[in-house]
Amino acid sequence: MREAQSRGRHFPETPHPYRGEYARDRDRIIHARAFRRLEAKTQVFTTRYSDHFRNRLTHTLEVAQIARTVAGALGLNTELAEALALVHDIGHPPFGHAGERKLDELMHPHGAGFDHNLHALRIVEQFEQRYPAHPGLNLTFEVREGIIKHSRDYSAEKFPELSEYLLDQRPPLEAQLIDRVDEIAYNTADLDDALEAELLDVDLLLHEVPIFSEAFAQVSKFFPAAPKKSQFNEALKRVLDYLATDLIAETRRLVAEHIVQSVTDVRYAPIRLAQFSKKAANDNATLKKFLFAHIYDHPAIAEDRNRSVKALEELFRFYLHKEDSMPPAHEALTAYARRPVVVCDYIAGMTDQFLLKQHREHFSA
């Protein structure tokens, strides 16, 4: 995706003398309050175990690093890929996917739902008010499009409010690769953090996940005297490299197979072209299945998650039914938007610790 082909911004701006348009988007995302809040939002492991584990912010930085590498190897626009990676999780509420599911459930009785991609778009278009010349961050079309389309397709019939985003077309390759590098980042990082949390049975991992056991066997052969933790780290690095290399190779193959020579060809391709090969996709799925079975649903993780999500639900109902319970600025918004929407937006913007603090203040004995 070349900047010269960009559909531009909602509000035209004078070009910057030494930064490209996607670099400016990247910088605006990094300086956004919502981006900073990712530091205090859970990835998988809470600070109950350690303050060294990934959070949403450090995960996002790892996704951006892999995205730049993959995009560079494919000859894509690395600045666009980096901007999309940095913004891809900006709409997540507290407590990760569990928090998202709960907010979505709580909004259903009110004829709405919660989707972190759509919430991210509202953040960059409405909630972030940093500049006097325009509302929101005024990001380029391609970054806004990638926010909503990097991981799924939206129906124009069900989401008419998104009609400007070419819902009948594929997003550029820079956006398509984000979902895949996101999986590479969290599937490998979650194993690393699980080991540090002493929740990972390495023998079980070797038995159930061939992609890791093969890498570990190679490492053990070449570094037999190395500490087990170092062997584990090296094997994990090789798994990451295998998946990233496969993504690059398979995307190249599909681009050639479909005779893609332009962004327009990408947009009208019959499938998304940024893909793993069948073997790597199966290997990755096996790893993901292991993580769900033995880490994400581990009793210690589930206990933390359930307690936190319960606090989110109780706080949502408290704000919903008690007038003047939110800060004045948010209460004022209820004159223009339905109260459930305002409450949902307020909670979605909270960090984990701020939500738990608010819950203690309102529900402590």
Range 16-42 average pLDDT: 95
Q: Which of 47-61, 117-131, 212-226 has the lowest mean pLDDT?
A: 47-61
Q: Which of 9-13, 22-26, 47-51, 330-334 has the lowest mean pLDDT?
A: 47-51
Tell whether the model's pLDDT for residue 74 goes beyond 90: yes
Range 175-202 average pLDDT: 94
pLDDT at 50: 59
Of 60, 117, 33, 110, nearest in space to 349 by CA: 33
With the CA atoms of 38, 42, 47 and 49 taken in that order, what torsion angle do they form, in degrees rounded to the nearest 10? Answer: -140
Per-residue pLDDT of 107-134, as tens digits, reads 999 999 999 999 999 999 999 988 999 9
pLDDT at 73: 98
Categorize the per-residue pLDDT at 271 as very low, low, confident or very high, splitting at 50, 70 and 90.
very high
Range 304-322 average pLDDT: 94
Domain-embedded: residue 306: no
Number of domains, the chain: 1
Categorize the per-residue pLDDT at 191 as very low, low, confident or very high, splitting at 50, 70 and 90.
very high
Domain-embedded: residue 254: yes
Domain-embedded: residue 194: yes
pLDDT at 298: 86
Domain-embedded: residue 310: no
Of 142, 169, 144, 141, nearest in space to 154 by CA: 169
Per-residue pLDDT of 132-149, as tens digits, reads 999 999 999 999 999 999
Domain-embedded: residue 326: no
Domain-embedded: residue 359: no
Domain-embedded: residue 170: yes
Range 318-335 average pLDDT: 95
Tell whether the model's pLDDT for residue 176 goes beyond 90: yes
Tell whether the model's pLDDT for residue 246 goes beyond 80: yes
| Prediction pTM value | 0.94
Tell whether the model's pLDDT for residue 304 goes beyond 90: no
pLDDT at 46: 62
Question: Across the chain, what does the average pLDDT equal?
Answer: 94
pLDDT at 291: 95
Range 255-261 average pLDDT: 97
Per-residue pLDDT of 83-106, as tens digits, reads 999 999 999 999 988 999 999 999
pLDDT at 43: 74
Domain-embedded: residue 7: yes
Categorize the per-residue pLDDT at 48 as very low, low, confident or very high, splitting at 50, 70 and 90.
low
Categorize the per-residue pLDDT at 34 as very low, low, confident or very high, splitting at 50, 70 and 90.
very high
CATH of the domain at 12: 1.10.3210.10
Tell whether the model's pLDDT for residue 49 goes beyond 70: no
Note down the domain range covering 275. Answer: 3-301
